[in-house]
Structure formats: structure tokens, C-alpha cells
Chain A
Amino acid sequence: MDSSFLPAGADNGSAGGANNGGGAAQQAPPIREQDRLMPIANVIRIMRRVLPAHAKISDDAKETIQECVSEYISFITGEANERCQREQRKTITAEDVLWAMSRLGFDDYVEPLSVYLHRYREFEGEARGVGLAPAPPRGDHHHHHHSVPPSMLNKSRGPGSGAVMLPHHHHHDMHASMYGGAVPPPPHHGFLMPHPQGGHYLPYPYEPTSYGGEHALASGYYGGAAYAPGNNGGSGDGSGGSASHAPPGGSGGGFDHPHTFAYK
């Protein structure tokens, strides 16, 4: 309970906003530990990506990094929120987040994130153009990507793009329903890109060394997930994440690896 106020206080202080330490203590509802931090499995996977193979990570270091990530999100969000207040807007947009990062010293992040956001919007436009049927949102759970029937999953695995688009679209709808439809539709709603895009359509290698690792890892894990749908039915986010990622699906990874290297 006490630890949940530390990031809020630090965030408000560093962001230069109103000092509401006492107010925060009274207004903030009790927050579950699970909801306060990012899933540790995801954090560890990112750490492993940049560490040598022989490196070990102690449990207390993992927990500290978890805390730092939540603090980072609160820190940037506080600055973005302050900008929204000055301009009397009620919605924090992606541009506000990028602006806050630049203002708080994370200039090096803005360019790769702008590229990432641009590609996300292109994908959103195409996903809407394809006309995927959105799954009904469920309020009591936040991750239902595996609720897709196996037949649908198998059918969508044929075209690689279809397999990836389906859970993403579902996620977007879920967010809209969670926040009373306040999420505005992407500006590229009508933008539809043809499936056979140019062969030289390559993302910017802003992290050339880690990019290959990310790609290989993504292919391997996605193969595993595709072969074991519905494995994370009732478990929590943390343990669910661990369960779904523990079996990397050797055959899937082996199948995907040639494509990965061919792509590079």
C-alpha cells in the first residue's frame, strides 16, 4: 500500500505539477501488486536480450527493474498530462508522450518511437480495411487473444499477416470498451495498403545488433504460441506470461529461422 504512493509523489514532484502528496494518499484506491508493475517475464526477456549469455540476474535486480519501468511510465505520463492541462485537453495522445520524452531528456527514443508509431498506424489502417470481425470484449479479463477458436487460428496462420492482425485488432476493441469508447479512431482509418508490398520495405535499423535477435526471438515464440492455443486460460498475467513463453516451440522456431535469416 505505501509503496504505491512513492512513484506518484516522485512523479508529481519531478514533473513540476501540483504537490498533492496528501491528496494522493487519500484519493488513490488500493492497488493490487500485480497491476502496479509490468509482468516480470516480459522485463526479464528484454534484459536477456542485451546481456551476454553467461550473465545472471538476481531476483532483487529483476524486481528493481520492474519498479523502474513503472516509475518511468508514471514520470513520462505526468509530464504529458501537464501539457494536456495547459492546453485544456482531456486525452493524452501518443504525440503528448513523445513530446514529454523529448522534454525529459529521452531524445534518443523519439525517432525510433516515431517510426514505430508510424508503422502501427499503417497497420491499423490495413487491419480495418481487411474487415476483421472483432471479438466481443470481456471486462473481467484483459488478455483474451487465445479465445480465438483453433480453426480460426489455423485459417489465419496461412497468410502470415492475417495471423498477426487478428489479436491486435481484438486488443484495440477491448481498450475502446474499457474506457467507454473514448479512444478516438486512428487518423488513417481509410488508408489501405496492398498486400504485396514492395520487397524493399525495410524498417530502419536503429538497433542493428539487437534487431536480429528480436526478430529471431519473435519468430520462435510466435511459433510456440500458435501451436498451443488457449494455454493461458485462467492464470494471472505474470504466471500466464511465463507459462506461454516457457515452451518456445522448437519445431516452430526451426521452421521460422530460415525466413528470419532470409529477411536480413
Chain B
Amino acid sequence: MRQARPYSGIFCGGVSARTGPHALPLARIKKIMKRSAGEAAAAADGGARMISGEAPVVFSKACELFVAELTRRAWAATLDGKRRTVHREDVATAVHNTDLFDFLVDVVTADTAGGTGGGGHDGNGAL
């Protein structure tokens, strides 16, 4: 068929052949999941956790929604400051103002305490 109408809707998140129809690379998502689940599983029952091939697919779309929502809230904070450039402080403000993002407080706080980190090198965040 000349027009990919039936299929184009499936890939509303797709952007390039490099990542297939998903906006974020599945292998990278799987690595992050593997590290997070592996540590907890090893500590609990010593068994390695396996990850279904569909779980990173769900995360690929979920992270899009997450980044979009966090960006919108950060932009609202930017507008409150009468600015046009989104800064780290705007993201931190968005996180603190949203109960849903409570789990990110340590991330944005550690970044702020560490100042302008080079290449994402964070200070020793107290947990």
C-alpha cells in the first residue's frame, strides 16, 4: 500500500529507524530496569530478575508521557519567573509542587546542592 494509514497510528511515538517505532531506545531502558530490579532481587532472595520484552516497550511510551508532563510543569515555573529559558530550578520547583513527583526530590535536590555538575556528576547525596 502507498499510504501507511493502518500502521502509522501504532507508531505515534516513533521518530526514526534507529529506535524503531519507539521514541526511546529499548536496550537502554532494559539496562536501567535490570540494574534496579537486579539489586533488589539479589538482596531479597539472591535470584536474578528477568524482564519481559514488553516491559521496556511500555516504559518507552511511559517515559514520553512523564517527560512531557514534567516539562510542562517546569515551563509553568519558568513563566512564573518571567523567563523564556527553562532552568534546573524550574524543574526542581515543578517537582516540589507536585505530589506525584515526590520520588524525584532527592534527584533535583542533589543536583542543586552539587551546583553545575559537569557531565551529570553528582555530589554525595545523603540518603
A contact residues vs B (CB 8 Å cutoff): 2-3, 6-15, 17-18, 20-21, 23-24, 27-28, 31, 33, 35-39, 42-43, 45-47, 49-52, 54-58, 60-61, 63-78, 80-82, 84-85, 90-94, 96-98, 101, 104-106, 109, 112-113, 116-117, 119-123, 142-143, 145-146, 159-161, 164, 167-168, 171-172, 174-176, 178-179, 182-184, 186, 195-199, 201-203, 210-211, 214-215, 217-219, 221-222, 224-226, 229, 232, 237, 240-241, 244-245, 259, 262-263
Contact = CB atoms under 8 A, between A and B. Distances in A.
17 contacts: A6-B106, A8-B36, A10-B103, A10-B106, A11-B36, A39-B28, A46-B71, A56-B85, A65-B91, A75-B103, A97-B58, A112-B65, A116-B13, A117-B58, A160-B2, A175-B26, A237-B28
Contact of A196 (B1, B28, B62, B63): B1
Contacts of B54: 93-94, 117, 120-121, 186
B49 A84 contact: yes
B1 A92 contact: no
Interface in B111-127: 111, 116-117, 119-125, 127
A263 B5 contact: yes
Interface of B: 1-21, 23-33, 35-37, 39-45, 47-59, 61-68, 70-72, 74-75, 78, 84-88, 90-92, 95, 99-104, 106-108, 110-111, 116-117, 119-125, 127
Contacts of A67: 107, 111, 120, 122
Nearest to A175: B53
B50 A145 contact: no
B99 A105 contact: yes
Contact of B25 (A12, A39, A71, A75): A39
A172 B57 CA distance: 10
Given A3-B122, A94-B52, 10 more contacts: A6-B106, A37-B120, A46-B64, A47-B68, A77-B37, A94-B55, A121-B54, A145-B19, A159-B1, A176-B53
A58 B58 contact: no
Q: Which of A77, A82, A215, A219 has the most CB of B within 10 A?
A: A77
A203 B12 contact: yes
Contact of B30 (A15, A46, A54, A175): A175
B69 to A, nearest CB: 8
For the residues of B in contact with A, the DSSP-based class is helix
B119 to A, nearest CB: 6
A145 B26 CA distance: 13
Contacts of B33: 73-74, 77, 92
Contact of A20 (B28, B39, B49, B101): B39
A94 B17 contact: no
Contact of B71 (A2, A47, A142): A47
Contacts of A262: 3
Contacts of B99: 105
Contact of B6 (A66, A197, A232): A197
B67 A46 contact: yes
A18 B23 contact: no
A184 B54 CA distance: 9
Given A46-B64, A259-B3, A225 B116 contact: no
Contact of B26 (A56, A76, A171): A171
